[in-house]
Amino acid sequence: MATIAAPRTSPLAESLRNARQAAEHNPILSWFATVDHKRIGVLYGVSAFIFFCIGGCEALLMRAQLAGPNANVLTNDEFNRLFTMHGTTMVFLVVMPLSNAFFNLMVPLMIGSRDVAFPRLNAFSYWTFIAGALFLNASFFTRNIFSGDLGAPDGGWFGYAPLNLRAYTPGHGMDFWMLGIQILGIASLAGGFNFIVTILNMRAPGMTLFRMPVFIWMTLVTSFLIIFAMPVIAVALFELTFDRLFGANFFNPAAGANPLLWQHMFWLFGHPEVYILILPAFGIVSEILPVFARKPLFGYPFVVFSGIAIGFMSWGVWVHHMYTTGLGTVANSAFGISTILIAVPTGVKIFNWMGTLWGGSIRFKAPMMFAIGTVAMFTIGGLSGVLHSMVPSDYQQQDTYFVVAHFHYVLFGGAIFALFAGIYYWFPKFTGKFLNERLGHINFWLMLIGFNLTFFPMHISGLLGMPRRIYTYPSDYGWNLWNLLSSIGAFTIALSVLIFIINFLWSIRKGKPASADPWDGRTLEWTIPSPPPHYNFAEIPIVHSRDDFWHRKYQEDAQGNVVPVLAGAAHAPTLSGGDGHGADHDDHGGHGIHLPSPSFMPLIAALGFPFIATGLIYDYALVPVGVTLLVVGFYGWALEPAAEEEA
């Protein structure tokens, strides 16, 4: 026990410390108090995947309804609530947190750090996310879900004014929506600031900005987008909250408001948001392609700068969501041109990825299959995006299934495929086991076929004049076949996800064991054992070049051939375990490494948000309860010691 620094400890502080220490060793409680970036990453990933399944089931219900004309699987009301929740779930509860899972898992490992800059803020970010996510989904139960009366929001994930006002969406669904997203925004902001500080301040010595892995660059750009974009939607949501709860008139046309204000704010957030969803995927692909092509990323500076360019340009294209609102010829021309131009940096990435494959020695492992799939599918989505940028022809496509096809090629074919690639790629690092390769390939091909079967026909149904967000359609509009194909495809995707789940659960127990460096990797995470020790790096590595680990393993001989570095030769010892077998021979076992101790305070603080939000909707008496939790959480957080001396 701490004998020197333990004068006057109050009984409360004493019992809190006992609780923390008990939690540290309890297999379940420790997850609620953890501040370890790896465990928070796992929490983020598992939660996001569960919501992926929920959002997917919502999609399957809608596809069942739309499989044929005049179907009666869902009512109009149910359909509207399901598409609202599907969009909201997939954006805020799946792709963002799944990307966040990878930020958490990978950023410290790839920059050679022992944790993120603010471990407890990181835990707070997760618990706030889960609070917001559960709150949002609780809306289903505000009516009797067992009798089929879904209570979920019904204003669309975009929540356009004035449909989002109480006059038009009278239930509590949209209240849950606006407050839920507000809470999720707080979680995103906490994560965004955390990763910016982590990346800028905690890189291993020698890792200059231009020696960072591309995934770290994309995380950095994404985090900046998050901290600038989330406040915009926060303002819009606060205004909406005042409109809905306190009778303000920000968006009420009857009081003279211009309802387009909402669209401007929503899409000024919404378009950077699109890149928040896709840039992490670009980062993952940029890590995987070089490893399995066994070549460095082609044109690293171009890939990095195009990512930064996309980050800046994403702020100047939001009106392409509003071409048909009648903003006029000048606005439409300007934003048409800017939208066309944002295709340039995106195209640069695709060409550079192809350059990476060229001349490579490609190993078709499951992560590589998904990564190549991402490049191919994103290409299609990018090209249909260029078609959308053509303003006058977009007057025909706006709000049709052509748009649905486009953004699913970008967000499913791009983001989700890349996130699966990331799971297959980094699974061995965190479990010490491989995901089954054969099931991985079946998973990939089924998903690729199901995906194209679902979303390619949507291009056609859209061009045949089928609008989005309709719960039924007549039989003689020529849409039947295309919708049937889409529905068959959707269930094929579901089957592939089922295979993934089986693979995951099986492999986590009986998977083939993986070494520290199973893929012949290039970046720092492969220098430490799999799974990594809780302190990550026994010794903080010193970085000498981009793809540092690769250069410790290989060098060029006089003829320019790539040959392995002989064990013990060259400058291997600078890394702990430069031979790829990690720090296990370095057996101080982490003693003397101070890591932040577990804390319940982030969880307590985050619990305050759903109380406040529920109180705003139902009974103001709950608001002080929530505020108290927040204050207690933050106060305890500030006062408890960041790291405890070991008992």
Partner 1 sequence: MSDLFRTIRRNAPRYVPLLLMLAIFVLLISGCTTDTPQNTFAPEGEVARKQRDLFYLAMWPAIGVMILVLGGIVLMCLRFRERDPNSRPPKQIEGNTRLELTWTIAPAILLLIVGVPMVAMIWDLGRSPDANAYVIDVDAQRYSFSFSYPDIKDPSGQPLFLPAEPHIPTGRQVAFRLHSADVIHSFWIPRLGGKLDVVPNEDNVLWLVADKPDTFHGECAEYCGLDHATMKMIVHADSPEDFQKWVDEQQAQLNATPKPTPVRSATPAATPSPVAASASPAPTPTATPQATGG
Binding residues with partner 1: total (CB under 8 A): 113
Asked if residue 275 lies in contact with residue 219, where contact means CB atoms within 8 angstroms, the answer is no
SS (H, E, C) 174-218: HHHHHHHHHHHHHHHHHHHHHHHHHHHHCCCCCCCHHHCCHHHHH
Q: Which of 9, 208, 333, 628 binds partner 1 (CB under 8 A)?
A: 333
> Does 360 engage in binding with partner 1 (CB under 8 A)?
yes
Token readout for 586 is 């370095």
Token readout for 115 is 């944790």
Token readout for 515 is 């070494």
Which range in 468-476, 502-510, 568-576, 581-589 contacts partner 1 by CB under 8 A? 468-476
Q: Is 555 helix (H, G, I), strand (E, B) or coil?
A: strand
Token readout for 568 is 């013990």
* Residue (108 or 171) nearer to partner 1, CB: 171
Q: Which of 332, 503, 507, 527 binds partner 1 (CB under 8 A)?
A: 332
CA distance 392 to 400: 15
The single residue listed with the structure tokens 């599918």 is 377
Q: Which amino acid is at 201?
A: N
* Residue (128 or 397) nearer to partner 1, CB: 397
> Does 470 engage in binding with partner 1 (CB under 8 A)?
yes
Sketch the per residue contact string, 167 through 206, with partner 1: x for CB under 8 A, - otherwise. xxxx------------------------------------
Q: How far is the CB of 293 from partner 1 (least distance, A)?
A: 7
* Residue (154 or 525) nearer to partner 1, CB: 154
Report which of 254, 142, 131, 146 is spatially closest to residue 185, judged by C-alpha positions.
Answer: 131
Q: Which of 307, 428, 440, 457 binds partner 1 (CB under 8 A)?
A: 457
Torsion angle defined by CA atoms of residues 476, 480, 481 and 486, in that order, rounded to the nearest 10 degrees: 160
The single residue listed with the structure tokens 């490579």 is 360
* Residue (147 or 361) nearer to partner 1, CB: 361
Which range in 341-349, 501-509, 534-542, 635-643 contacts partner 1 by CB under 8 A? 341-349
The secondary structure element, H or E, covering residue 564 is: strand 562-564
Q: How far is the CB of 64 from partner 1 (least distance, A)?
A: 16
Q: List binders of partner 1 among 228-267 (CB under 8 A).
A: 252-254, 256-260
Asked if residue 172 lies in contact with residue 82, where contact means CB atoms within 8 angstroms, the answer is no
* Residue (85 or 107) nearer to partner 1, CB: 85
Task: Give just the sign of the alpha carbon dihedral 526, 545, 98, 378.
Answer: negative
CA distance 384 to 394: 11
* Residue (92 or 451) nearer to partner 1, CB: 451
CA distance 249 to 646: 57
Q: How far is the CB of 152 from partner 1 (least distance, A)?
A: 14
> Does 307 engage in binding with partner 1 (CB under 8 A)?
no
Q: List binders of partner 1 among 508-567 (CB under 8 A).
A: 554, 556, 560-564
* Residue (389 or 527) nearer to partner 1, CB: 389
Q: How far is the CB of 365 from partner 1 (least distance, A)?
A: 10
Residue 333 burial (CB count, 10 A): 11
> Does 7 engage in binding with partner 1 (CB under 8 A)?
no
* Residue (118 or 473) nearer to partner 1, CB: 473
Asked if residue 100 lies in contact with residue 516, where contact means CB atoms within 8 angstroms, the answer is no
What end-to-end distance do the CA atoms of the chain give, in Å?
A: 5
Q: Which of 134, 227, 238, 299 binds partner 1 (CB under 8 A)?
A: 299
Q: List binders of partner 1 among 389-408 (CB under 8 A).
A: 389-400
Q: Which amino acid is at 200?
A: L
* Residue (395 or 635) nearer to partner 1, CB: 395
Sketch the per residue contact string, 92 through 131, with partner 1: x for CB under 8 A, - otherwise. ----------------------------------------
Asked if residue 269 lies in contact with residue 189, where contact means CB atoms within 8 angstroms, the answer is no
Q: What are phi and psi of 400, to 5 degrees?
A: -110, 180
Q: Which of 19, 121, 227, 449 binds partner 1 (CB under 8 A)?
A: 449
Residues making up the chain, counted from first to last: 647
* Residue (67 or 183) nearer to partner 1, CB: 67
Q: Which amino acid is at 302?
A: F
Q: Which of 469, 571, 585, 588 binds partner 1 (CB under 8 A)?
A: 469
Q: Which of 24, 32, 234, 472 binds partner 1 (CB under 8 A)?
A: 472
> Does 71 engage in binding with partner 1 (CB under 8 A)?
no
Asked if residue 378 lies in contact with residue 282, where contact means CB atoms within 8 angstroms, the answer is no
Q: List binders of partner 1 among 135-174 (CB under 8 A).
A: 154, 156, 160-163, 165-170
CA distance 108 to 282: 19
> Does 468 engage in binding with partner 1 (CB under 8 A)?
yes
Q: Which of 375, 446, 497, 607 binds partner 1 (CB under 8 A)?
A: 375
Q: List binders of partner 1 among 573-592 (CB under 8 A).
A: none
CA distance 463 to 397: 7
* Angle subtended by helix axes 401-410 and 260-293, to nearest 10: 40
Q: Which of 99, 223, 241, 352 binds partner 1 (CB under 8 A)?
A: 352
